[in-house]
Structure 1
Amino acid sequence: MDRMRYLYISDYKKNAVKRYRVGEQYGIVVTGRNGAGNRLDQLDGPYYMFVDHEHSLCVSDCLNDRMVKWTDNVKEGIIVAGGHGKGNNLTQLPNPTGLFVDHSGTVYVADCGNHRMMR
């Protein structure tokens, strides 16, 4: 939940992230409006997410092997880590799961496929 009292829910099967205001019945799709895929306006297996103090949303796009960030009111995300397929190079994140963004904007990712933490 962010400071504006929005609750973010990752829908792994529908490849989307929704945002709900506490107390409201219906949410809005924040990311993933275009089905599963690897374009910058799509997700494939969104797993974990983190919302920072500027309302930027980072998502572990697990089946695309990348971390994607959306700033408020944009239609496409930007890749902040991974996106270069499976492997153990520093630019690869096979099946990224957990993530955290610190106060300075540094992204920490649990690289499940390589059993390591990446910064």
Structure 2
Amino acid sequence: MQWKMGDTNGQVLVGRKGQGNRLDQLYAPTDVLIDKETDNFIICDQGNRRVIRWSRRSGTTQGEILINSIACWGLFMDDQRYLYISDSDKHE
């Protein structure tokens, strides 16, 4: 969801097709970050046990799986664009 200052209604940007496991759906997402260099969302899709990349450009209809089979909970990207992901199953 995107919430602009002063708005009372948010706008769904990713996963507009409802809950599920297709590449155009999310299931219990827990974290999101914006990769400003590539203009992508990186999403921790915990319910589907994956991390996906979703372009912020208009017309994008589905995401791309970056990492599968991970109990992701949180994400962080440093200044060198290294991606750090917490895995709640492995306690890492």
TM-score, with structure 2 as normaliser: 0.85
User: What aligned pairs does 1:38-57 form with structure 2 within 5 A after superposition?
Assistant: 38-54=21-37, 55-57=39-41
Q: Which residue of 2 aligns with 1:71?
A: 55
Shift of 1:52: 2.4
> Counterparts of 2:81 and 2:67 in 1: how far apart (Å)?
13
Residue 34 (str. 1) matches residue 30 (str. 2): no
Q: Which amino acid aligns with 1:76?
A: Q
Structure 2 runs not aligned, ≥5 long: none
| Larger relative contact order (CA 8 Å, sep ≥ 6) | 2
Aligned ranges for residues 1-119 of structure 1 at < 5 Å? Answer: 18-54=1-37, 55-73=39-57, 74-82=60-68, 92-93=69-70, 95-116=71-92
| Aligned Cα root-mean-square deviation (Å) | 1.4
Higher-strand-fraction structure: 1
Distance 1:29 1:22 in 2: 15
Q: How many residues align?
A: 89
Q: Please, what TM-score do these two structures have when normalized by structure 1?
A: 0.67
Match of 1:13 in 2: none
Cα displacement (A) at 1:26: 2.0
Query: Following TM superposition, where does structure 1 have runs of at least 4 consecutive aligned residues deviating by more than 3 angstroms?
Result: none
Distance 2:42 2:78 in 1: 12
SS of residue in 2 equivalent to 1:108: strand
